[in-house]
Every structure is written in structure tokens, then in C-alpha cells.
Structure 1
Amino acid sequence: MPILEFSLKANEIILLWDSESYILKHGLNVIQQQSVLSGIWSEYAIENMIYQIEELLESEPALRQVQGQAVTSDPMMTLLSQLFFQNSSAIDRVQLEHAFNDFVDHLNHYLHQVEQGQQQVFVYFVMIREMMHHLKIQEILIKSLLL
């Protein structure tokens, strides 16, 4: 089974799977700008992100075949692991869903755990969650933490 490699960047999302490269039209900046209106994080902003990300992922039909493991070396994934997963180098669906629910329930707490300029990590988190759901990813490995 091929492993999905991904990089979620400010201006583009790159997915490599089964010897094919997919570059999605929007990056994290666009998702954040269209969801976090006036810089205000809320459950509504998160719901809006989820909707946008679902649309983005569904725009590439070939990705419906993805399943299994994913791997990334994104620095933002390392920060996410520090914030929610005790620096774990592997995150499974159950861990991710538990952490995501905790994030939503304690949004203000987590917003104060990072600097204003690092809040895009939460857009990254929503993207990762939706990737796990829509692309049937069971586990994400973080290359930078595996070394």
C-alpha cells in the first residue's frame, strides 16, 4: 500500500501518492483568511475551515483512493505534536480526534499557547483532521521526530 507524503504550506498543499503529485489550489493562508474573520477564532470559524477543506480535498477525485499511512516533515506538524501529542512521532486517528475535540472545547486556552504568528498551526490541525477523515488515513508519521 502506498504511503501518502504531504506538505501543507501557506500558499499550497502538496500531496504525493502512488507516484503522482497533487498540488491543491489553496494553501493554509487562504483557508485561514476565509474562515477566521477579523482574526477572531470561534467554533464557527473552525466549521467554516472544515467545509473549505472538504471542498478542497474533494476537488481531486484521485485522492479518494488514498488510505493507510501518511508521512510529513512539515515543521508545523512538529509544533502540533508538541502542543497536542507530547512530541509523538506517530499520531493515529483516535489520538487525533481526542486532541481535536479538546482543542475545540478549550479553544481560548490553546490560542494562548502559541504566539499570534503561530496560530496557523490550528488551521494545519483542522486540515490534518479532515485529511484523516476524507483520505482514510489511519496514522501520520512525522519524519523530523523519527530521527
Structure 2
Amino acid sequence: MAQLLSPESLGAMKIQFVYFPGYTPVCPTKTIYQFDYWTHIMNEFEFSVSAHQTQFLWASAGVSITTAAGYDDVLKKIVTSTQLSSYALEMMIYLTEEIIEADKRIMPVNGNATSHDDLLCALSNRYFNGANLITDTAIESLFNRLADSVSYTDRACTPEELTQVAYLVFIREMAHHLSIQAISMKRGKC
């Protein structure tokens, strides 16, 4: 018998591996339900990664930080062709960490983040079935598949693919260093 008041019937989305601060999942599948309006209530952190700068905004604290480096700056330091190697991927990680850790005012989020980046939409459409919410687990899984694909041999990439890889590394490292559990796209952007 179907539940008349199931979360789906009330307009909730089923999302796996999303944890909110203070929430301990009790079901073995680690699935929780998030109502659509929670996306805006829970997200106080917003970021934007562009070719030559990265912006961090904590709206509730009124803190905005802009670094003078972005994904293109990382690519220009390590990629000399359209080949992606495991070394280039490791260097992307290192250089991205340097950017994130350069300003000590950049603090952990310990929750969700929001972004309106076109590259986030492109990644979502290409690798995450157009999802409006991408979990840190999903980002890590995609990164691990990418790392496995270049672990034994270099991979030929288009310039657009290299840009997407550099952006993926950025959001992965931000998820690690800033404890971002999920990233949602601002409404109407994708």
C-alpha cells in the first residue's frame, strides 16, 4: 500500500548521501529527503570559479573573498598540450589547494553551497544527468573515475574537456577543504 503522505507526494526530492549539520541518518541506504525550499534556507555559502578568479561569499556573515586565480591559471601552469596525465591531475590538485588555502579568511562551510557557474551546469549536464544538486560523494566518484582513466596512460582531451577537468578539481578540493557536502545550482541558471 502506497503512503499517502510520502515525502515525494509532499514535493520533496529524494537525494542520496546529503547530510545536514546535526542530522544523523537512520536508514541503511543513507537516503534522506530534502524539501525544495531547504535548498535556499540551508545554503548560506556561495562560490564562483572563473578563468582568473575565485569568489567565496558567506551571505549570513557578510563576508566576501575574491582570489586572483581561477581554473585557467591552474591549467596554464601545467598543461602544455591537450593530453591529460596523472601528473597533470596531481598538479591541478596541488595548485588548486594553494589557491583555496592562500587566504586564511576562507573558512569551512560544513554544509551545502550554491553556485551559478556555467561550468557547474556543464558538468551537471554531462556527468550528473542534469541534477540541480551534486553531492560531494558524486563529485568524488567522478574524480576517481577520471583519475583511474589516466593512471596508466595519458588521455587526449579537447580544450573544453581540460577546462571542465580543472573546474572539477576546483569543486572537489573546495568540497574537501571547506567541508561542502553538496552543491546546488541557483534557480534558472541551467
TM-score, length of structure 1 as denominator length = 0.86
1:52 matched to 2:95? The reply is: yes
1:20 matched to 2:63? The reply is: yes
Note closer, same or farther for the CA distance 1:145–1:123 as it changes in structure 2 (3 Å cut). Answer: farther
8 Å CA contact 2:139–2:172 kept in 1: the answer is yes
8 Å CA contact 1:89–1:145 kept in 2: the answer is no
Per the TM alignment, residue 38 of structure 1 is displaced from its structure 2 partner at its CA by 3.4
8 Å CA contact 2:82–2:156 kept in 1: the answer is no
Moved more, 129-138 or 49-58: 49-58
Question: Paired residue for 2:120?
Answer: 77
Question: Paired residue for 2:148?
Answer: 105
Q: Secondary structure at the match of 1:37?
A: coil
Q: Distance in 1 between matches of 2:121 and 2:43?
A: 23
Structural mapping, 1:1-147, within 5 Å: 3-17=44-58, 18-107=61-150, 115-144=158-187
Per the TM alignment, residue 119 of structure 1 is displaced from its structure 2 partner at its CA by 2.8
8 Å CA contact 2:45–2:56 kept in 1: the answer is yes
Q: Secondary structure at the match of 1:60?
A: coil
Higher helix share: 1
8 Å CA contact 1:87–1:145 kept in 2: the answer is no
Q: Secondary structure at the match of 1:138?
A: strand
Q: Which amino acid is the alignment partner of residue 48 of structure 1?
A: M
Same amino acid, percent of matched pairs:
32
Mark the runs of 5 or more structure 2 residues left unpaired by the alignment. Answer: 1-41
Aligned residues: 145
TM-score, length of structure 2 as denominator length = 0.68
| Higher RCO by CA contacts (8 Å cutoff, separation 6 or greater) | 1
- Over the aligned positions, Cα root-mean-square deviation in angstroms equals 2.4
8 Å CA contact 1:37–1:45 kept in 2: the answer is no
Flag the structure with larger Rg.
Answer: 2
Per the TM alignment, residue 116 of structure 1 is displaced from its structure 2 partner at its CA by 2.9
Per the TM alignment, residue 33 of structure 1 is displaced from its structure 2 partner at its CA by 0.6
1:15-50 Cα deviation digits (max 9, x unpaired) = 111311111121111101112233431111110011
Per the TM alignment, residue 145 of structure 1 is displaced from its structure 2 partner at its CA by 6.1
Moved more, 51-60 or 130-139: 51-60
1:66-99 Cα deviation digits (max 9, x unpaired) = 2211101111100011222111110111111111
Q: Secondary structure at the match of 1:63?
A: coil
Mark the runs of 5 or more structure 1 residues left unpaired by the alignment. Answer: none
Q: Distance in 1 between matches of 2:54 and 2:98?
A: 13
